[in-house]
Amino acid sequence: MSANPFRGKAPAAAVPRVISEFVLSASGPEQFPKEVDPEIAFLGRSNVGKSSLINALVGQKGLAYTSSNPGCTQAINFYRVGDSGYFVDLPGYGYARVPEARRLEWKKLIESYLLERQVLQLAILVLDARRGWMEKDRDLRRWLEVHHRPCLVVATKMDKLKNQSERQHSLASLRQGADEVMLCSALTGRGVREIWQAITKTRSSQ
Ligand code: GDP
């Protein structure tokens, strides 16, 4: 596997291992790392499966924190992936039990990252394949469009759809919100290779 996944070829195996490490957790823009290398950001509702997707992409189970306790991360986590890029895990949104003040903090933190980060190459909006588009996902997608931030929509937890009819129903509703939605499962590794290809394509087109 290339040590430079942002520039090299997409991994051949379904779950490759990419040398990666946690760099820092930032609760404000002043803590963000210096803008040197390209960044791929991951966005989505709490518990949607963002951390698991990051772990599946790097082939390393414990890199990003995964939890069945939604709403617990309120910081932006930076991971060095390969030798010239970062994955950036943005705190999950839409958890009902989070107080309004915390919601506003989330908005401020996320917007400061998404608006000002020059090295941001791609925002990956993660959806739960069983739940499809929720209002906040649509809002965020529109917001990214308005601000000209490239966005890739990924529906994860596909393994939870048990039969053909569930899969077809999910796909139809996912496609109502975006022309292209990539399907994946952190559990089985489905779609990991295709997501890497999309990341590599974005990298080479910029
Ligand atoms: P995050 O809050 O968005 O980072 O979500 P996590 O990655 O912590 O995942 C939330 C829960 O969903 C955890 O219990 C994960 O094990 C589970 N999960 C995440 N991705 C998948 C998947 O692709 N398939 C299945 N079956 N479970 C998943």
Question: What mean pLDDT do residues 25-45 have?
Answer: 95
d(CA 206, ligand 1 centre) in Å: 31
Average pLDDT over all residues of the chain? 87
d(CA 36, ligand 1 centre) in Å: 30
Of 178, 63, 65, 186, give the one whose Cα is nearest residue 123: 178
Index of the ligand 1 atom closest to the CA of residue 54: 7
Cβ burial 43-71 (10 Å sphere, 16+ → b, else e): bbbbbbbbbbbbbbbbbbeebbebeeebb
Index of the ligand 1 atom closest to the CA of residue 52: 7
The SS3 of residue 5 is coil
Residue 68, pLDDT above cutoff 60: no
Radius of gyration of the chain (CA): 16
Out of 21-35, 97-111, 165-179, which region has the weakest mean confidence (pLDDT)? Answer: 97-111
Q: Hey, which of 37-41, 96-100, 173-177 has the most confident mean pLDDT? A: 37-41
- For residues 88 and 2, what is the distance between their CA atoms, to the nearest angstrom? 20
In testing the pocket of ligand 1, which one of 15, 66, 188 has its CB within 8 Å of the most ligand atoms? 66
Type of residue at 121:
Q
Of 115, 116, 139, 134, give the one whose Cα is nearest residue 46: 134
**Per-residue pLDDT reduced to its tens digit, 74-91:** 789 999 998 879 999 999
Q: Extract the tokens encoding 159.
A: 């393994």
Q: What is the pLDDT of residue 190?
A: 95
Index of the ligand 1 atom closest to the CA of residue 185: 23
- State residue 82 phi and psi, 5-degree precision: 70, -155
Q: What is the pLDDT of residue 202?
A: 87
Q: What is the pLDDT of residue 4?
A: 42
Q: How confident is residue 61, by pLDDT bands cut at 50, 70 and 90?
A: confident
> From atom 27 of ligand 1, which residue's Cα is the shortest distance away?
157
Q: What is the pLDDT of residue 81?
A: 95
> Which residue has better confidence, 205 or 146?
146
Q: How confident is residue 183, by pLDDT bands cut at 50, 70 and 90?
A: very high
Out of 24-28, 34-38, 94-98, 170-174, which region has the weakest mean confidence (pLDDT)? Answer: 94-98
d(CA 13, ligand 1 centre) in Å: 21
Q: How confident is residue 67, by pLDDT bands cut at 50, 70 and 90?
A: low
Answer yes or no: is the C-beta of 92 below 6 A from any ligand 1 atom: yes
DSSP string, 152-170: EEEEE-GGG--SHHHHHHH
Global pTM reads 0.90
d(CA 20, ligand 1 centre) in Å: 20
- For residues 163 and 67, what is the distance between their CA atoms, to the nearest angstrom? 26
Q: What is the pLDDT of residue 191?
A: 96
DSSP string, 71-130: T---SEEEEEETTS-EEEEPPPB--TTS-HHHHHHHHHHHHHHHHH-TTEEEEEEEEETT
